[in-house]
Amino acid sequence: MIRFNNDYSRGAHPAILQALADTNAVSYNGYGIDPWCEKAANDIKKYLDCPDAAVHFLIGGTQANFTAIAACLRAYQSVISAQTGHIHAHETGAVEHGGHKILTLPAENGKITAAQVAAEGEAYRSSPIQEHITQPKMVYISFPTEYGTVYTLKELTDLRAACDKYGMYLYIDGARLGYGLAAAGGDVTIRDIARLADIFYIGGTKCGALFGEAMVITNPALKPDFRSFIKQNGAMLAKGWLLGLQFSVLFRDGLYFDITRRAVEQAMELKAAFEKKGVPFFMDSPTNQQFVILTRGQVKALEEKYVFEPDHDVDGEHTCVRFCTSWATLPEEIAALTADIAAL
Amino acid sequence: MIRFNNDYSRGAHPAILQALADTNAVSYNGYGIDPWCEKAANDIKKYLDCPDAAVHFLIGGTQANFTAIAACLRAYQSVISAQTGHIHAHETGAVEHGGHKILTLPAENGKITAAQVAAEGEAYRSSPIQEHITQPKMVYISFPTEYGTVYTLKELTDLRAACDKYGMYLYIDGARLGYGLAAAGGDVTIRDIARLADIFYIGGTKCGALFGEAMVITNPALKPDFRSFIKQNGAMLAKGWLLGLQFSVLFRDGLYFDITRRAVEQAMELKAAFEKKGVPFFMDSPTNQQFVILTRGQVKALEEKYVFEPDHDVDGEHTCVRFCTSWATLPEEIAALTADIAAL
Amino acid sequence: MIRFNNDYSRGAHPAILQALADTNAVSYNGYGIDPWCEKAANDIKKYLDCPDAAVHFLIGGTQANFTAIAACLRAYQSVISAQTGHIHAHETGAVEHGGHKILTLPAENGKITAAQVAAEGEAYRSSPIQEHITQPKMVYISFPTEYGTVYTLKELTDLRAACDKYGMYLYIDGARLGYGLAAAGGDVTIRDIARLADIFYIGGTKCGALFGEAMVITNPALKPDFRSFIKQNGAMLAKGWLLGLQFSVLFRDGLYFDITRRAVEQAMELKAAFEKKGVPFFMDSPTNQQFVILTRGQVKALEEKYVFEPDHDVDGEHTCVRFCTSWATLPEEIAALTADIAAL
Amino acid sequence: MIRFNNDYSRGAHPAILQALADTNAVSYNGYGIDPWCEKAANDIKKYLDCPDAAVHFLIGGTQANFTAIAACLRAYQSVISAQTGHIHAHETGAVEHGGHKILTLPAENGKITAAQVAAEGEAYRSSPIQEHITQPKMVYISFPTEYGTVYTLKELTDLRAACDKYGMYLYIDGARLGYGLAAAGGDVTIRDIARLADIFYIGGTKCGALFGEAMVITNPALKPDFRSFIKQNGAMLAKGWLLGLQFSVLFRDGLYFDITRRAVEQAMELKAAFEKKGVPFFMDSPTNQQFVILTRGQVKALEEKYVFEPDHDVDGEHTCVRFCTSWATLPEEIAALTADIAAL
């Protein structure tokens, strides 16, 4: 079986395994105070053109999200998210477990707009009963979104402006950041992300690492004592250099960008194959996740050789499913699948 | 510099790195539902002689502790711990962040007694104002303790009886379980641990793995929906098979027990060297952590070649420091240090 | 100015003030362990025909809600509510602050349906990724709703059946229970409430008391240690007998039912006056809250003599406002307002 | 039976009941935005000589404490308290339920010292592993303490200096503030309290009100959005004017100070009677709580006519018990008890 069900089904880029092997006998200081974390942070800051950013390495996405939110918000403050946002839909209420309400907005193509955010900000600002409602203080977006779509630079800039107007933080969940930056037709660079967000993370788990996410804080108000939040939230790895080492490899000579760009190119091959076959798309995604609407028969045919993920039933005859490429997808896997799509 | 400062300063046992390399190109299902996690769980259950136990793989110790506590306690229930317990002393208030009070007891040799636990249970049971105080519902102990000492089988059995009498759970933090089971003169087996605790974890991070802790639940009442607690607390690794794989290697042919036993033997060599030199011990530890009281001059002399951890100042002239061996300590490192101790 | 803006703008029924005066010099035991709380609990249980119910007296609605939810749910469990539900819309995220997600459902006439609840239950039960989402374990409804509407006995019975099918608790927020039971055309009795809910509260603050809510627990599984939850959540009044005393007065000879029925009758007079004038209603409410859609001119005219509450803007020319009667509304106040409505 | 078991066993000062009766038919705006709350706040600020203070009215002590702590601390910050402090000993873990660790210090006479606080501050500041421990950010003291003792002005001034040095807030739990300010031989005024604390509350429940505590915030950094914390924590009374009204009465012509001073004078009569009889004291209290060590026989004798509170067993023959006077204690009650003490 060939897996296209997600982008975290294989180990790590071989260069990472090699680095682990090379350093296995070396001893390091623990908890992220080590030369590899320092080097990786510096390398990342260069890519961001953001020398004053704080960079911390956490283990996984859910914990990265609730740790960031804990560090940014006071108890009566809430976070705005698309209804389809990962923090709302797939994290077992971790944000609420941490004490914060999520204000959900209907999403279009997985995205929310500056106008929606401004409306929330205005509603709070003009409320005569502010103390009876939560204060929206953070905007959570994912880039790319849970449906593979991406915000344009204009959309992000507008969100930033709305956040500025209403005193909110912009937090970007970059679990798949590499794929988003490589979006076909996209116009957002990692420097834009760093310039527009107050805090965001660069996903490693889904982009070539065994595990790990690099949290970047550019807003000076959010930097103090962030390590205390990491530790309290169980996100501080004892052997922290394993995270720095991995990101150090990923940001060596732009490897992170190369491997995610290739995965997007592969996804575009799949997309073209589906388009050619007349298979409709649930959303028009320019990144490594492709949501297509298949007939039961097509599902059955493809299930014989491929693993892919059901998203939702469309009607009695059709199902929306996700095909995902990754940094690890092999050319021959794409060749096989495109051929089989053509043969549907 | 040779590091004796802790037992998590080097990567992983070579067999683990080899297994990672061997499986790197294979694709797996995520979130701990994979053949490696299943195999590791089964292997562990055989060692425990506990076929009905639930085994889950988490990433690190602090998150293992607060996740277990969240899963066991209701909001008004508290956990009993030694004042020196890791959850009280070194986890940034993570347990309280999760909503629970820790009832601390003065420890002797890092340990608490059944009598102390019973006194807490009795105090609650006989309190005329129960609703004004928390209900002690869990006893937290570490095996070995934070000072390297171990409970005897009699002590554990008595703690179990006190827990039974007062309706408490016994939770054992086994971050260094391997070293504790190999304690010089110890009489506790891993089957005893499984038989006496309601829930405990087998530490991987400090015992040969890159990272990872195996949570074992033997009390049926604590098993349902434990995965929901794991996910909500950010402790569910996307590439969960990495955890199962590591524990699978560690529990192949008893590797886990062999490498921790060797580390304890090395620690006993250090202990003997210190004893021979007349260096006093802060506590009499039969495991891989040795707390000795050095003069400033001795500290200065040893600091030239070795990294070790200051614990506390004893007086103006003496400091208590920790030397730690691990699964990764080399014979030549022990030889060098014992020689230098002799030469003090 | 005559206040119709809410049902908590005046002190207490005179019989309550009299009882406070009569007992002011008597000394009582604290924290709700006193003869008045015992008597009130017994009186209430008789009205409920539910001798085994547990009855506790809390101070206010928000704290009653989050205390009940804390006592019923585990950390990964969530509560289903209408989007217009008080816990979601007007409690500053108190439920999330307590760690629980609210699953919101679109409401019709302020109400949710058994079918909606069943859909949530089914979605969880059939989810292949249960551990990534919260478990819906409680249904929160208000009776009457925030818009004055009431569930029929059939609707409540269906909700109960859905809860039974999916293992959920039914919790009824009865902040205005008296008004709901007196609903014009309503068919629900307080015995139905007690029979169908697992836990609910009988509102005092809005129904004749200075303050206070009587929490009733009929589900045996939810009774143990409820007082611990009350105390931990700051809802245990030191002079607890003040609560028991008030409810004792309210449930003496059915006073609670009489004064709320009268308020509903007054509201029906207002309703008739608005209807006669052709003023449209936002919702068709059979209880003490009437939401009408006024022109700006009508608002301006009525604002000269009356205080009422803006709910939302309908369009540039119309506003939805709330008129509220209460146990304290005077006949002459109704007479004045109905005359002024007629004169609009 | 005559009750000396606590200071919250009777209703309210008659002037308060009168005020409630006088205003019962008047209608007010809700949630503490009303003329009585405004007036009471202004009156209190005059007594404090602190025109810029923020004054809020909450319902009870436990909720006042956890609300203040929630508003002052970030998640990784802890509060320092005496082991005998009310937040640690008698609030069912409410502070931890709110997410914060309490760092307990051994108390002498119920009090902690500036030196102890400084030691905690220094320990954190100099810690090489700050992110593994909580940051002590608030000092909680009660005035008078749970044992009736009071801090001297010098002690409070020193605590303030320690807080300043280590960047901590000083929070004073004034549940019995009136009695503390009237302490025999005491040198602390309410203006000192306001000048030295960042935030404190003036207790009403135990000092003449039916219920209610006035939270005073003098530190400007702690003022914003405090009402949101009040509402979220269930401490916002719907009929908020009931609180303002009561404090308005209590601070009219110094009534608060008069009635608590009289209670302290009565307690001094009891104290003298016990001293004369040679009954030993557990602590030397200059306020309305007297802890004496009685023989079993003496307990038995006094129990026939009086209710008083057991504190702890001293030995097989002696028990420490509390006698409490209050604003409501009658001269004849004191006369009776002193006579019976003399007759022991």
Tokens of C341: 């409505």
Residue A99 contacts residue C99 (beta carbons within 8 Å): yes
Contacting residues of B for D99, CB less than 8 Å apart: 96-99
Alpha-carbon span A154 to A108, nearest angstrom: 16
Per CATH, is A14-250 categorized as 3.40.50.10470? no
Alpha-carbon span D33 to D40, nearest angstrom: 12
DSSP D134: P
**C230 contacts B76? CB cut-off 8 A:** no
Q: Does D2-7+256-342 match D14-250 in CATH topology?
A: no
pLDDT in tens, A92-135: 999 999 999 999 999 999 999 999 999 999 999 999 999 999 99
Provide the 3-class DSSP secondary structure of residue C79.
strand
Average pLDDT value for residue range C52-63: 98
Specify the CATH superfamily of domain B2-7+255-342. Aspartate Aminotransferase, domain 1 (3.90.1150.10)
- The whole-angstrom distance between C35's CA and the closest CA on chain A is 35
Searching chain B, which residue's CA lies closest to the CA of residue A14?
A: B24
Nearest to A247 by CA among A57, A5, A17: A57
Average pLDDT value for residue range C187-206: 98
Which pairing describes strands B2-3 and B306-307: parallel, antiparallel, or unpaired?
A: parallel
- Cα–Cα distances in Å, from C223 out to B74, C62, C218? 14, 20, 8
**Helix axes of B241-250 and B255-277: crossing angle, nearest 10 degrees:** 70
Phi, psi for residue D152 in degrees, rounded to 5: -80, 165
Looking at residue A282, what is its pLDDT?
Answer: 97
Residue B208 contacts residue B255 (beta carbons within 8 Å): yes
Q: For B99, which of D76, D96, D133 is closest by C-beta distance? A: D96
Contacting residues of D for A131, CB less than 8 Å apart: 31, 225, 227-228, 230-231, 236
B23: confidence class by pLDDT, cuts 50, 70, 90? very high
Residue A192 contacts residue A142 (beta carbons within 8 Å): no
**A225 contacts D135? CB cut-off 8 A:** yes
Q: What is the fold, at CATH topology level, of the domain defined by A2-7+258-342?
A: Aspartate Aminotransferase, domain 1 (3.90.1150)
Domain covering D2-7+256-342 in this structure, CATH number: 3.90.1150.10
Searching chain A, which residue's CA lies closest to the CA of residue B227?
A: A92
Searching chain A, which residue's CA lies closest to the CA of residue B93?
A: A232
The DSSP annotation for C81-132 comes to: EETT-HHHHSSTTHHHHTT--EEEE--BTTB--HHHHHHHHHHHHT-TTGGG
Whether C29 and chain B come into contact, CB under 8 Å, resolves to: no
Looking at residue B189, what is its pLDDT?
Answer: 98
Q: For A242, which of B28, B210, B228 is closest by C-beta distance? A: B210
- Cα–Cα distances in Å, from B217 out to B143, C137, D330? 16, 24, 60
Searching chain B, which residue's CA lies closest to the CA of residue A62?
A: B234
Whether B29 and chain A come into contact, CB under 8 Å, resolves to: yes
Residue B324 contacts residue B288 (beta carbons within 8 Å): yes
The DSSP annotation for B142-198 comes to: ESS-TTS----HHHHHHHHHHHHHHT-EEEEEETTHHHHHT-TT----HHHHHHH-S
Contacting residues of A for D31, CB less than 8 Å apart: 131-132
Looking at residue B113, what is its pLDDT?
Answer: 98
- Cα–Cα distances in Å, from B259 out to A90, B9, B247, B265? 39, 15, 13, 10
pLDDT in tens, D155-175: 999 999 999 999 999 999 999
Whether D35 and chain A come into contact, CB under 8 Å, resolves to: no
DSSP D149: -
Residue C217 contacts residue C52 (beta carbons within 8 Å): no
Average pLDDT value for residue range B221-250: 98
Looking at residue A90, what is its pLDDT?
Answer: 97
Residue A45 contacts residue A55 (beta carbons within 8 Å): yes
pLDDT in tens, B238-295: 999 999 999 999 999 999 999 999 999 999 999 999 999 999 999 999 999 999 999 9
> For testing the chain A interface, which of C76, C88, C92 should be mutated: the one with the most A CBs within 10 Å?
C92
Q: For A92, which of B92, B97, B228 is closest by C-beta distance? A: B228
Whether A23 and chain B come into contact, CB under 8 Å, resolves to: yes
Residue window 192-221, chain D: list those with CB within 8 Å of chain A.
none
Residue window 83-122, chain A: list those with CB within 8 Å of chain C.
89-93, 95-102
Per CATH, is C14-254 categorized as 3.40.640.10? yes
Contacting residues of A for C93, CB less than 8 Å apart: 76, 78, 100-101, 133-134
Q: For C228, which of B131, B229, B231 is closest by C-beta distance? A: B131
Looking at residue B38, what is its pLDDT?
Answer: 98
Contacting residues of D for B100, CB less than 8 Å apart: 93, 96-97
As a whole number, the mean pLDDT across chain B is: 97
Alpha-carbon span D319 to D311, nearest angstrom: 8
A336: confidence class by pLDDT, cuts 50, 70, 90? very high
How is chain A split into domains, by residue range? 2-7+258-342, 14-250
- Cα–Cα distances in Å, from B332 out to A17, B328, B337, D68? 27, 12, 9, 57
Torsion of the alpha carbons at D25, D27, D30 and D35, rounded to the nearest 10: -100
**C70 contacts B131? CB cut-off 8 A:** no
**C70 contacts B232? CB cut-off 8 A:** no
Helices (H), B53-107: 61-72, 86-89, 94-97
Architecture of domain C2-6+256-342: Alpha-Beta Complex (3.90)
Contacting residues of B for A208, CB less than 8 Å apart: none
**D91 contacts B96? CB cut-off 8 A:** no
Sign of the dihedral through C-alpha A20, A21, A26, A27: positive
Which pairing describes strands A102-105 and A77-82: parallel, antiparallel, or unpaired?
A: parallel
**D237 contacts C59? CB cut-off 8 A:** yes
D229: confidence class by pLDDT, cuts 50, 70, 90? very high
- Percent with pLDDT over 70 in chain C: 100
Looking at residue C256, what is its pLDDT?
Answer: 98
**C31 contacts B228? CB cut-off 8 A:** no
**D231 contacts A132? CB cut-off 8 A:** yes
**C76 contacts B131? CB cut-off 8 A:** no
How many other CB atoms are there within 10 angstroms of residue C124's CB atom? 19
Q: For C93, which of A76, A90, A93 is closest by C-beta distance? A: A76
Tokens of C137: 């374990």
pLDDT in tens, D89-117: 999 999 999 999 999 999 999 999 999 99
Tokens of C122: 């089914």
Whether B124 and chain C come into contact, CB under 8 Å, resolves to: no
Looking at residue C204, what is its pLDDT?
Answer: 98
Looking at residue C21, what is its pLDDT?
Answer: 98
**C9 contacts D24? CB cut-off 8 A:** no
Average pLDDT value for residue range B55-72: 98
**Helix axes of D114-125 and D153-166: crossing angle, nearest 10 degrees:** 10
> For testing the chain B interface, which of D76, D88, D96 should be mutated: the one with the most B CBs within 10 Å?
D96
> For testing the chain B interface, which of A1, A24, A27 should be mutated: the one with the most B CBs within 10 Å?
A27
Searching chain A, which residue's CA lies closest to the CA of residue D234?
A: A132
Tokens of A159: 């969100």
A150: confidence class by pLDDT, cuts 50, 70, 90? very high
Residue A200 contacts residue A216 (beta carbons within 8 Å): yes
Residue B325 contacts residue B292 (beta carbons within 8 Å): no
Nearest to A136 by CA among A111, A170, A113: A170
Contacting residues of D for A75, CB less than 8 Å apart: 70, 229, 232
Residue B292 contacts residue B274 (beta carbons within 8 Å): yes
Provide the 3-class DSSP secondary structure of residue B324.
strand
| C182 half-sphere exposure, CB direction, 13 A CA radius | 26
Residue D211 contacts residue D204 (beta carbons within 8 Å): yes
ipTM: 0.97
- Percent with pLDDT over 70 in chain B: 100
- A33-36 LR contacts (CB < 8 Å, sep 24+): A33/A240, A34/A240, A34/A241, A34/A244, A35/A241, A35/A244, A36/A241, A36/A244, A36/A245, A36/A248
Residue window 220-239, chain A: list those with CB within 8 Å of chain D.
225, 227-232, 236
pLDDT in tens, C320-335: 999 999 999 999 999 9
pLDDT in tens, D274-316: 999 999 999 999 999 999 999 999 999 999 999 999 999 999 8
C319: confidence class by pLDDT, cuts 50, 70, 90? very high
